Structure 1
Amino acid sequence: MMKDRYSRQELFKPIGKDGQKLIKNKHVLIIGCGALGTANAESLVRAGIGKLTIIDRDYVESSNLQRQQLFTEQDCLDQLPKAVAAKVHLQKINSSVEIESFVMDGTSTNLVPLLVDVDLVIDATDNFDIRFIMNDLIHKYNIPWIFGSCVGSTGMSYTILPGTTPCLNCLLNAAPVTGATCDSVGIIAPTVQMVVAHQQVEALKILVEDYSSLRNKLVTFDLWNNLYHSVNINRSKKDTCLTCGENPVYPKLTYDAQTKMEVLCGRNTVQIRAKREIHLGELAKQLSNIGIVNQNEFLISLNYDEYRIVIFRDGRVLIHGTDSTEKARNIYYQLVG
């Protein structure tokens, strides 16, 4: 089927037919399925990756459509989880790729089995809690990881090779990022595409095992102000680092280091994580006495006073309309128990 599908990619000498065979036998895990995640996923699927696993905790909203290229208005109306909607569209692009999608919030526990046989992890997350967990995990299990971040017209990318390059902790000590988010200062779509371009070319190098061509510098840019920097941060790697140093202990993998209740920056929303699986059908019936409940097989949502509550099957709850964890906790107990 479509024997010339990858012909133009194979004509590129650093890849060739041998490289294409390598790509077909590789497995990539993408953490996050928003702007960076959807664009990375589409590029990999079009490139002929053998297996793709995508993880995301959120669902499609109208504000996503401006830059998250796989999603449609119907996905938004259906309140589909991003990982589910992405898989549907990706499978239509390339039916020969094996795609797994997981609607969940990644933790140091549930991510471990998903790392089995993974050749590369791509960072497409929107918060540093999960990034620091991933930083420890990829070093513990020795998996390459491509960091990426963007907001406004600025972005950065860096390729992390366990045992060789500085880890995320070392990187942020050398080049700290601001606390700005897309929800607080906005973002333009070209910023996303620029970060993805840097991530994807590095991904292809790793997938065809051309490690000598990997970029060994941190790339930062500001598209609007015409700025571009490439920074050598190799000296920032520290022997005393608890993640990539001589005696690693992977501190972010301990239970106490993980967030159980968190305010989602800039969204006036609190997320609550509970180690329980919720029977959505039964809970929807209970909550129908309070207000109109919208339900699909992945989540239920309803308006409660001035708040909007979204409850996922894996026990996570998003409480929109407050940044008070105390208030969110009270609402959670009132509705979920």
Structure 2
Amino acid sequence: MTLFLQRVFDSFANGSAYAALAVAISMVFRSTGVLNLAQGQLAMLSAYLAVVFAAGADPSVAFSGWLAPFATPWPIWAAVAGAVVISAILGALLEYTVIRPMAGDPVPTIGATLGLYLLVGVFVVKHFGGRTRFLGSPFPQEHSDRLLIADARLWFDSIGLTLTMLGALGILALLQRTTKIGLAFRAITSNRDSAALVGVRVERVVMGGWAVAAALGALAGGLIAGEINVRPNMMERLLVFGLAAATLGGLRSPSLALAGGYLFALAETLMSGYVGFIDSQVTLVWALGVLIVVLSLRPSGLLSRKSTRKTLQT
């Protein structure tokens, strides 16, 4: 029982990151029909930006000259928040300059996101040297910062990361349900042409969706960096699990994407804990297998058409 509970606790941090990426992917796909393959790389870039902010004027960190007016390094939470803001602006700019000119044609648009994936990776390696950086966590990480529940250890940083991500996703869901902007977003995901006919500024709403998706990815990248450190390939594995989780709802259900993120993380930790020959690479293959099977047998996701229409309306 203790081992099982420990594995459940261990899945919280990764599950939060998987869920955030899955919801971000789902948001972009719902509003534009585009599968954003660059979502993970943008989150990785934001983690490097957080490292720069946290380093202050340290000359050993690339681009630290940006922060010359700020001689004192930023607290980690402020560094992550700054990276989130910049990532939201970057996401909006990418939608305006790269995605919008494609006029909704899915093939070149997906190709463009793949190009962004490669470009961001090259940019980071060129300017940061591909070295692993340490950011740390905004939450307590000392050996004593934990709770013991039935002899299983629940770390404070895992609690903080999970609650932060759930809080951010909860606020996003609330805004979509209770604000005019949220109503406009739901309108274009239901019927883009009809939304435009009733006066919704579709392009502006889509740009906002890309900004929010980039901000969610940045938050996930900045917080999970305290668990896995910052390196050029840090989000590749997380992106695969995020994509697999998003496919559970046919890339259109944020609620199933959220649940899928935590389910995949739990399955990953249980498999690696109870099956001796299964390591991290094997669980990655398993996630890819689930992704292929769902897309092959049920491309619309686990929801029925009726349930999907209901989800889009809520």
Question: What TM-score, normalized to structure 1?
Answer: 0.23
Q: Which has the larger radius of gyration?
A: 1
- Structure ranking higher in strand proportion: 1
Which has the bigger relative contact order, CA under 8 A and spacing at least 6? 2
